[in-house]
């Protein structure tokens, strides 16, 4: 029998598949379609200190083998997430959930993580220093080792939960940033977030989305994600969560061979709401095809 369980920062997952933040809401919407307890876990919608309406519309642009989004971290704010969203989730999800947190200042990150630290439902805090869709926050903290380490250290001081720092591919040296986060107290690294992209309306001769640029995701970025996961996993000693263009069970295995302990599925959920379910159901077949008895055994197995 195929053994699909993995251990992420001290918490056991029944399989390595995690629905990525921003593509799975707060979970209960998808629970109307299938039993989301079959997931390893999921990372809920990016949460900030204050409520955010997000960026002006249009926010989405289609691309070959992907899409560009500039939603802009629309969310009700951490207090309402704790008082309203998590109680709804508890009715349909009995596992630990991953909290995705973003901010516009160090104080923002600290406040939100400190509030979430008291939530029993939350197993990990995924600290997003890589969102390309907001001005003055998100990615601006993740483009240098010094700023990423500053966020990591500040959050580390206010939470006992495992913190996983989510990094941007829009940098020149992903390894130095990952190592700085590890040195500052990160329990794990997740990557990659979306790449910065743009589309132009030929008739109007202006950008398709109101924000002009946004996060490019989808299967087109998968090779970039595999490369960066491989580089980081070979440079740090903490677990790596791989993501970026994952669409099938074979992609999950490839990410794990590159060094990922767990694998997030993002844009695929927006194309097919059953994507994570289908990937999990297909993993035993793929494991059999490649003679894999346990997924734990293949982590970092690319030589």
Query: For the segment 218-267, what is each residue's pLDDT rounded down to a tens digit?
Result: 999 999 999 999 999 999 999 999 999 999 999 999 999 999 999 999 99
- Give the per-residue pLDDT at 72: 85
Q: How far apart are CA 6 and CA 49, in angstroms?
A: 32
pLDDT at 16 over 80: yes
- Residue 284's pLDDT is what? 98
Question: How far is Cα 219 from Cα 188, in angstroms, rounded to an integer?
Answer: 24
Share of the chain above pLDDT 90, in %: 91
pLDDT value at residue 131: 60
pLDDT of amino acid 135: 46
If pLDDT is split at 50, 70 and 90, which confidence band does 132 have? low
In terms of pLDDT, which residue wins out, 174 or 143? 174
> How many alpha carbons fall within 13 Å on the CB side of residue 303?
0
By three-state DSSP, how is residue 270 classified?
Answer: helix
Question: Which of 9, 14, 92, 131 is labelled catalytic?
Answer: 131
User: Is the bond leading into 58 cis (omega within 30 degrees of zero)?
Assistant: yes
302 a catalytic residue: no
For residue 136, pLDDT beyond 60: no
Nearest to 263 by CA among 290, 298, 215, 291: 298
Beta pairing class for 6-8 and 11-13: antiparallel
Would you call 14 helix, strand, or coil by DSSP? coil
Encode pLDDT of 51-109 as tens digits: 998 889 999 999 999 999 998 889 999 999 999 999 999 999 999 999 999 998 999 99
pLDDT of residue 54: 84
pLDDT of 1 > 80? The answer is no
pTM score of the predicted model? 0.95
Torsion on CA atoms 261, 266, 268, 272, rounded to nearest 10? 110
Please, what are the domains in the chain?
Answer: 6-55+71-198+221-297 (3.20.20.70)
Please say if the pLDDT value at position 133 is more than 70. no
The helix/strand/coil state of 275 is: helix
Distance of CA 11 to the CA centre of its chain: 17
Work out the mean pLDDT of the chain and round it to a whole number: 94
140 pLDDT band, cuts 50/70/90, is low
3-state DSSP of 58-110: CCEEEECCEEEECCCCCECCHHHHHHHHHHHHHCCCCCCEEEEECCCCHHHHH
């Amino acid at each position: 029998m195929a053994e699909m369980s993995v251990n992420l920062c001290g918490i056991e997952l029944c399989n390595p598949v995690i629905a990525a933040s921003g593509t799975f809401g707060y979970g209960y919407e998808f629970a109307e379609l299938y039993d989301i307890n079959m997931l390893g876990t999921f990372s809920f919608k990016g949460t900030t200190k204050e409520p955010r309406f997000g960026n002006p519309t249009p926010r989405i642009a289609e691309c070959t083998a992907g899409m560009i989004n500039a939603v802009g971290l629309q969310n009700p704010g951490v207090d309402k997430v704790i008082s309203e969203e998590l109680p709804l989730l508890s009715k349909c999800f009995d596992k630990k959930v991953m909290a995705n947190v973003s901010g516009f200042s160090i104080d923002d990150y600290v406040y939100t993580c400190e509030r979430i630290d008291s939530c029993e439902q939350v197993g990990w805090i995924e600290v997003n220093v890589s969102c390309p869709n907001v001005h003055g926050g998100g990615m601006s903290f993740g483009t240098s080792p010094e700023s990423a380490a500053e966020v990591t250290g500040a959050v580390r001081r206010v939470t006992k939960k495992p913190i996983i720092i989510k990094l941007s591919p829009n940098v020149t040296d992903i390894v130095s940033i990952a190592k700085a986060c590890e040195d500052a107290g990160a329990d794990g690294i997740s990557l990659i977030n979306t790449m910065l992209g743009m589309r132009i309306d030929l008739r109007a001769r202006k950008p398709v989305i109101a924000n002009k640029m946004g996060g490019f995701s989808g299967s087109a970025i998968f090779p970039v994600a595999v490369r960066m996961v491989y580089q980081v996993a070979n440079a740090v000693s903490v677990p790596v969560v791989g993501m970026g263009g994952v669409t099938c069970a074979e992609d999950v295995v490839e990410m794990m061979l590159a060094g990922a302990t767990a694998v997030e599925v993002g844009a695929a959920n927006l194309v097919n709401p059953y994507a994570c379910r289908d990937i999990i159901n297909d993993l035993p077949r793929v494991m059999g095809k490649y003679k894999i008895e346990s997924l734990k055994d293949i982590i970092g197995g690319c030589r």
